[in-house]
A and B are shown apart, each in its own frame.
Chain A
Amino acid sequence: MTVESTAAARKPRRSSGTKRAGVKRTPQPKATEPQLVQLLTPEGERVQNDEYDGYVADITPETLRGLYRDMVLTRRFDAEATSLQRQGELGLWASLLGQEAAQIGSGRALNDDDYVFPTYREHGVAWCRGVDPTNLLGMFRGVNHGGWDPKTNNFHLYTIVIGSQTLHATGYAMGVAKDGADSAVIAYFGDGASSQGDVAEAFTFSAVYNAPVVFFCQNNQWAISEPTEKQMRVPLYQRAQGFGFPGVRVDGNDVLACLAVTRAALERARSGEGPMLVEAFTYRMGAHTTSDDPTKYRADEERAAWEAKDPILRLRAYLERESTADEAFFAALEEESEALGKRVREAVRAMPDPDHLAIFEHVYADGHALVDEERAQFAAYQASFADAGMGTGTGSGTGFEGSAEEGK
């Protein structure tokens, strides 16, 4: 088989000076890695940061233990969901393993009246918002497309189409500003998503309308199999500058730094200074989703290097160093984790399949004649099997327990 490079086969038509087709262009060297905002080293040592220390000055030993608890329980929930997928209870799972600090740090920076627009991986943020974790599992089990009322917790439904929600967040924030409210909006997205046109448009709109929105990008280094080099040439947070608002890169495995930086960005937004981009530099320790096979594209050593920066171990080291938590605390938390795992397991197994007529529910708010007609036809068709004593074979549930009604 010939592996011919078309570029190489073509003759240059212009003389030197211009870049010629056929000349292999060397990729530009990567911009030197910028400084991360970091308050806790990977060894769990507190480092001073003049700009951001003030934002966590109020943190008590109790809040620190709370952050630790949030991360541990979120990880436990995530691990349970992963194994439930393996057991066939869930169709798919998108694990947040490794991203706990980014999510808990930013999630705990929010006020109740702030509004969150997540992707499909923000289980830790959902936890901070008080969304029952079992509600997150319905869409992964395949019984609904959401499963919670976004307004109850100011936590929007998961968005699967990459980047779409950054525009929703911007629009919501424009509404907040119009209303004269002093709350803020936060939009989560990934490094891969930053390549989408929607994200660029969200940056444009938010800047032009000075919308109170924080763009929180979790740069977990990968978009399925594509490393960040396939998405960008300059560090992501620097992109904000070109749109006219500030960007900052924070150590995404440092929960304290994530808390401080997000608080600062939210405060800015609330006080009318407009959008800000936070890039949480972190790592996806697991597969992209349970359908993915990372051994096809990334080296084990890379994960090992990031394991040394594990967000949970880091905070634990700090808690132990400062004698902020004792054995009893860790033991009680372990028990609480087990209980959470058990509750999640049981809730998922008990989750009924939706009734087959749920297909026709909530298609329109005001109804639609065609939907009514199709529902009636389908009901009659299903009933014909029951009359014939054959059963329908599917649709075991009788009510709408598993549908989007749940949790409202």
Chain B
Amino acid sequence: MAVTKLPLAKAINESLRVALDTDPKVLIMGEDVGKLGGVFRVTDGLQKDFGEDRVIDTPLAESGIVGTAIGLALRGYRPVVEIQFDGFVFPAYDQIVTQLAKMHARALGKIKMPVVVRIPYGGGIGAVEHHSESPEALFAHVAGLKIVSPSTSADAYWMMQQAIQSDDPVIFFEPKRRYWDKSEVDTEAIPGPLHKARVTRTGTDLTLAAYGPMVKVCLEAADAAAEEGKSVEVLDLRSVSPIDFDTIQTSVEKTRRLVVVHEAPVFFGSGAEIAARITERSFYHLEAPVLRVGGFHAPYPPARLEEEYLPGLDRVLDAVDRSLAY
């Protein structure tokens, strides 16, 4: 066993290091990923150790970054590209949606697209416009892409390895406000499947399902609910496309109540998809409608309002109460 306590950002750094070290085809690309080590230092020290040919500072052009990664992948490389912030992925959205996602299908499976697009996402760090968004649903709607988001350092470490090894394009959403949270990583563990949800806390009265930055909030909510005698189960979905509906279904058929929590706007969000599927699958088991807690149908607000906008403990508990009141 090689267990160490690492901040989530450092776990990704270690994971990228292993990938660069074991597979000469792996490349890191992005703005400021070299000497600076990225604006969050996730790629810190990698250029120093692997050189400018492997850890590539790119021109300031997101369409260019993803578009050339596609070309490199066609040539046998496995690029891991960094988009500096969630709100800056859109210049690359065209390449991701119209090209990266569809290449494998168009070639009737003859070519593979092992590209990882890393996106630090979500709010809670007091940033300016375009630095706090959660656009995962915009990508989940597109067939051909896989979408994951870790909530712990161990998941960050292992899911990154698995994403890089995947022959499909993976959009890797990194919960930036958890970058500095430390938790244990066993670098010799045998990781579970990339797209499987995890029961993070067991309970009997209600299921909270979340991923990425909201898992921690849900665990805190479950603690608070326990003090009031309510037993809340917490699922860390880990993957947004595909979603592990089986694990959600099993949990819901036990607790009979489900609340889905994410930072992204609720309207047309991943919670809507989960609510619809679980209602289809478990209609007769449900004691309450599936509830959703998330962002509003409004632009992500200025920093001084983000505590209001982001689902916090109180809003999650409010939904728990509403569900239990049915």
Q: Is the CB of A91 within 8 A of B127?
A: yes
- The residues of B that contact A140 with a CB separation of less than 8 Å are 128
Instruction: For the complex formed, measure the closest distance between the CB of B72 and the CB atoms of chain A, giving whole angstroms.
Output: 11
Check if B155 is an interface residue, CB within 8 A of chain A: no
Instruction: Tell me whether A402 is interfacial, beta carbon within 8 Å.
Output: yes
Given known A3-B50, A92-B128, contact A195–B305 (CB-CB < 8 A): no
Is B106 on the interface with A (CB-CB < 8 A)?
no
Q: Does B128 contact A374, Cβ atoms closer than 8 Å?
A: no
Question: Complex: how many Å from CA A92 to CA B61?
Answer: 23
Hey, which chain B residues are within 8 Å of A371, CB to CB?
296-298
A231: Cβ under 8 A from any B Cβ: yes
Interface flag for A322 (CB, 8 Å)? no
The reply to whether the CB of A162 lies closer than 8 angstroms to some CB of chain B is yes
Q: Flag if A197 contacts B61 (CB, 8 Å).
A: yes
A31 at the interface (CB under 8 A from B): no
Q: Per-residue 0/1 for B288-326: is the Cβ within 8 Å of any A Cβ (1 yes, 0 no)? A: 000000001111011111111100001100100000000
Q: Establish whether residues B31 and A224, one from each chain, have CB atoms under 8 Å apart when the complex forms.
A: yes
Q: Which residues of B contact A395 (CB under 8 A)?
A: 305, 308
B61 and A195 contact, CB distance less than 8 A: yes
- Cβ-based interface call for B36 (8 A): yes
Contact B32 A92 (CB under 8 A): no
Interface string of B10-23 (1 = CB under 8 A from A): 00000000000100
Chain A CB within 8 A of B63 CB: yes
Q: Which of A314-373 contact B (CB under 8 A)?
A: 353-354, 356, 358-360, 363, 368, 370-371
A192 near B60: Cβ-Cβ < 8 Å: yes
Does residue A272 face the partner (Cβ distance < 8 Å to B)?
no
B60 near A359: Cβ-Cβ < 8 Å: no
Q: How far does the alpha carbon of A359 sit from the alpha carbon of B296 in the complex, in Å? A: 8
Q: Are B25 and A6 in contact (CB under 8 A)?
A: yes
Interface size band for B:
35 or more
Q: Which residues of B contact A393 (CB under 8 A)?
A: 307
**Complex CA–CA separation, A139 to B304 (angstroms):** 10
Contact (Cβ within 8 A) A4 B24: yes
B130 at the interface (CB under 8 A from A): yes
In the complex, whether A304 has a CB less than 8 A from a CB of chain B is no
Report A69 CB to chain B, min CB distance, Å: 30
A360 and B296 within 8 A (CB): yes
The 8 A CB mask of A170-199 against B (1 = contact, 0 = none) is 000000000000000000000011011110
Contact yes or no, A226 B49, CB < 8 A:
no
Q: Contacts A354-B302, A354-B304 given; indicate if A5 touches B51 (C-beta within 8 A).
A: yes
Which one of A160, A192, A356 lies within 8 Å of B305 (CB-CB)? A356
Among listed A34-42, A57-65, A142-150, A239-247, interface-contacting one = A142-150
Check B57–A358 contact: CB distance below 8 A.
Answer: no
The answer, among A192, A223, A359, for a CB contact under 8 Å with B309, is A359
Is A76 interfacial (CB 8 A cutoff)? no
Contact across chains for A394 and B307 when beta carbons are under 8 A apart: yes
Query: How far in angstroms is the closest Cβ of chain A from B261?
Result: 15
A145-B302, A374-B297 known; A225-B36 Cβ under 8 A: yes
- Tell me if A46 counts as interface (CB < 8 A to partner B): no
CB-CB under 8 A for A161 and B35, given A5-B51, A139-B129, A354-B304:
no
Selected contact of A142 from candidates B31, B77, B304, CB within 8 Å: B304
**B35, A225: Cβ atoms under 8 Å?**
yes
In this complex, what residue of A is CB-closest to B125? Answer: A91
For A4, list chain B residues within 8 Å (CB). 24
The answer to whether A303 has its CB under 8 Å from any CB of chain B is: no
A193's closest neighbor in chain B, by CB? B60
Is there a chain A Cβ closer than 8 Å to B169's Cβ?
Answer: no
Pair B298/A359 contact, Cβ less than 8 Å: yes
| B305 and A358 form a contact (CB under 8 A) | yes
Q: Does A7 lie within 8 Å of B35, measured CB to CB?
A: no
Instruction: Determine the residue in chain B with the shortest Cβ distance to A138.
Output: B302
Q: How far is the CA of A143 from the CA of B37 in the complex (A)?
A: 30
Q: Is the CB of B298 within 8 A of A226?
A: no
Task: List residues of chain B with CB within 8 A of the CB of A223.
Answer: 31, 60
Contact B267 A370 (CB under 8 A): yes
| Cβ–Cβ contact B308 & A161, under 8 A | no
The complex places the Cα of A193 from the Cα of B298 at a distance, in Å, of 28
Q: Mark B58-92, 1 if CB is under 8 A from A, else 0.
A: 11111110000000000001000000000110110
20 new A-B contacts, CB < 8 A, other than A3-B51, A160-B128, A225-B36, are A6-B54, A6-B77, A140-B128, A142-B128, A142-B302, A145-B129, A161-B90, A162-B88, A195-B59, A224-B32, A224-B36, A226-B34, A226-B57, A297-B36, A360-B298, A363-B299, A371-B297, A374-B297, A381-B318, A394-B308
Closest 4 A/B residue pairs (Cβ) = A142-B303, A225-B36, A195-B59, A192-B60
Taking Cβ atoms with an 8 Å cutoff, the residues of B that contact A are 21, 24-25, 31-32, 34-37, 39, 49-51, 53-54, 57-64, 77, 87-88, 90-91, 126-130, 267, 296-299, 301-309, 314-315, 318
**A interface residues (Cβ-Cβ under 8 A, vs B):** 1-7, 9, 91-92, 120, 138-145, 160-162, 192-193, 195-198, 223-226, 230-232, 291-293, 296-297, 353-354, 356, 358-360, 363, 368, 370-371, 374, 378, 381, 385, 393-395, 402
- Interface pairs (11), CB distance under 8 Å: A139-B128, A142-B304, A145-B302, A162-B60, A192-B60, A225-B35, A226-B31, A293-B36, A359-B301, A368-B297, A370-B297
